[in-house]
Structure 1
Amino acid sequence: MSRSDSERIGDILAAAEIASKVAAEGRQAFLSNWKNIPTAERALHIIGEAATKLSDETAARYPDVPWRQIRRLRTLITHEYHKVDHEALWETLEKSVPTLVRTIREGSQAPPPSG
């Protein structure tokens, strides 16, 4: 059974919450605790996978979300895991994930685009 777009948006927000908890521990803990990097990678993978499966119509409701970059990060984590830069991953957790959550939450308050 396929998941609905609203369920996928929920998946994105739930995974972002996990990523935010990792980020809340701080950069040093992120880099030094062996559990944090794979946890963050898994959360970002879920975000990317859900983003990949969203319909074009739903993605268009959130025009400020960088869907292409989210999908590319998922591909990198999945297929080229050995190339993941942990400092760049930290930047994503610290800056991009909170922006993503805020943008989705604000977009879900807006009426669907007409046209």
Structure 2
Amino acid sequence: MLEAIKGIEDAIRDKSYRDYQRSWVLRSALERGIEIISEASRSLGPKLKARHKNVRWKDIAGIGNILRHEYQRVDDRIIWNAVKNELPPLKQALLALQASLADED
């Protein structure tokens, strides 16, 4: 998940929403990154997710279904807002989980 987030961060660095709208490659890359994050989130157990209740875990899992099965309904603004506003707190939660799991070893 962290690798996909890093890829998305790199892809949108110095990019505007307009850049995103105009680039099929950028839109596709972000959507694929979100799909990976979505699918990977399903493998985190409820105890790990409970440590970060502020993360919208159900929405993260659900957006992957939309991207895979209802792609005609994908709204550019929703995807852009998700990567700009939802990924940073998810990244922080994942880094904290990673650190806590390392401490447990």
TM range (shorter): 0.7 to 0.9
Alignment match, 1:23: 12
Which residue is 2:93 aligned to?
103
Q: What letter is aligned with 1:61?
A: R
Mapped partners of 1:102, 1:67: distance in 2 = 14
Task: Report the count of equivalent residues.
Answer: 100
- Structure 1: 4+ residue segments shifted above 4 A: none
Whether the aligned pair in 2 keeps the contact of 1:22 and 1:30 (CA below 8 Å) is: no
Match of 2:61 in 1: 71
Q: How does 1:1-115 map to 2 (within 5 A)?
A: 12-24=1-13, 25-110=15-100
Is there any run of 5+ residues in structure 1 with no aligned partner, and where? Answer: 1-11
What are structure 2's unaligned runs of at least 5 residues?
Answer: none
> Higher mean Cα deviation, 101-110 or 30-39?
101-110
Task: Measure, in 2, the Cα distance between the counterparts of 1:39 and 1:22.
Answer: 8
Q: Is residue 44–residue 74 contact of structure 1 (8 Å, CA) maintained in 2? A: yes
46-55 or 98-107, larger mean C-alpha shift: 98-107
TM norm structure 1? 0.77
How far apart in 2 are the matches of 1:46 and 1:59?
A: 17
Contact 1:76 1:84 in 2 (8 A): yes
Shift of 1:61: 2.7
